[in-house]
Amino acid sequence: MTLAAIDWGFILTQTVETAVGLEAAVYALAAVGLNVHFGYAGLLNFGQVGFVAMGAYGMGLSVTLWSLNPFLALLVGMGFATVFALILGVPTLRLRGDYLAIVTIAAAEIVRLLARSTTLGGITRGAEGLHAFIGPFRELNPFDAGSEYGIGPVQFGGNQFFAIVVGWALTAVALAVIWQLMRSPWGRVVKAIREDEDAARALGKNAYWYKLQALILGGVIGGLAGMVQALGKATIQPDSFVPAYTFFFWTVLILGGVGRIWSPVVGAMIFWAMLTFFQGTLTAMVNEGLIPTALMDTSQVSQIRFMLVGVGLALLMVFRPQGIFGSREEMMLDVR
């Protein structure tokens, strides 16, 4: 009945695995998109999971419905996210920022409910989801599906490793594009719109058009997250796109620090490392009797770990409100 009896090596291995694994890559990409929206353009998007779903379904349907090759499927997925951005942005971006927030949270749910509806069942296969799309992607996999890849105790199966590599590669590309955009005059206009839309308009900038561009860019990156998830899980299920995920992406972004290039990546890694570490540790502590079952049992661990992440986030807001990478100096400007 001691802490030493817990298999720390196993817990740490799992922690590292999830910190660099598929989930972290998916969350990082989705949060990179959210960072474009909120961090740079100041758009309040509470429906990022809708973009993720659109990307995943766009890619999946390209194969199951239209038998397109994987690269075209990727483009179709991006196209789906773009169309979603246009549907959300065209009517709302002329209005005050709050309207986008309201519309996005509803639209993301509409996407999920449509995908699982019986009306579209013939296309999206309802709650069962899409599975048959994975074949062509597996053929592109340069890694051996039967082997393990990784460093030391951290090992992934070949198919999983492929999705992880694709996920982080896409993240790298997205970050490179955003980095270049944000040091260009385009980024300057977008950041100016975040600060004060009217000032930008008074200087001749078409704020509406820039906001729409930013919404599309961040949405397409969110769509990529959905495609990476589909690739890794070999399934696209409507109920893996519930609204809660949007707020996990927000947690990731705020952990890292809003409006910083690396923050979504590091935020996603820390988010998943924390979840896995708490899961492993709490489970072990309950099993070892360090936590009495009257207080909690192993089936409650997966809920409790989110509470602990919440506590962590609250502490971060108290002691480092700008996030890990954020600039306190910049943040304090709001107070003046």
Partner 1 sequence: MSDSNVLSRQWGRVRRRDEFEPDLGWVLDESRRKWMAEHTSGVTKPDPALVIKNLRRTFGGLTAVDVDHLEIQRGVITALIGPNGAGKTTLFNLLTGFDRPDSGSVLFDGRDIERMRSHVRARKGMVRTFQLTKALTKLSVLENMKLGAKGQVGEGFARSLVPPLWRAQERAIEQRAMELLERFSLAHMASEYAGTLSGGQRKLLEMARALMSRPAVVMLDEPVAGVNPALTQSLLEHVRELPIEGMTVIFVEHDMDVVWDISDWVVVMAEGRVIAEGLAEDIGKNRAVIDAYLGSGQGIENPEEEAP
Q: How far is the CB of 329 from partner 1 (least distance, A)?
A: 7
The reply on whether position 180 binds partner 1 by CB under 8 A is yes
Could you give the C-alpha distances from 308 to 118, 248, 301, 305, in angstroms and in order? 38, 14, 10, 5
Q: How far is the CB of 221 from partner 1 (least distance, A)?
A: 14
Q: How far is the CB of 185 from partner 1 (least distance, A)?
A: 4
CB 48 within 8 A of CB 34: yes
The reply on whether position 285 binds partner 1 by CB under 8 A is no
Residue of the chain from 117, 147, 206, 293 that contacts partner 1 (CB under 8 A): 206
The reply on whether position 333 binds partner 1 by CB under 8 A is yes
What residues form DSSP beta bridges with 236? 130
Residue with smaller CB distance to partner 1, 131 or 205: 205
The reply on whether position 199 binds partner 1 by CB under 8 A is yes
Residue of the chain from 99, 186, 262, 306 that contacts partner 1 (CB under 8 A): 186
Q: In this structure, what token pair is assigned to residue 211?
A: 């906001």
Residue with smaller CB distance to partner 1, 139 or 329: 329
Residue of the chain from 101, 106, 123, 181 that contacts partner 1 (CB under 8 A): 181
Q: What are the φ and ψ backbone dihedral angles of 42, each rounded to 5 degrees?
A: 70, 20
Q: Which residues bind partner 1 (CB under 8 A)?
A: 177, 180-181, 184-189, 191-192, 194-196, 198-207, 213, 329-330, 333-334, 336
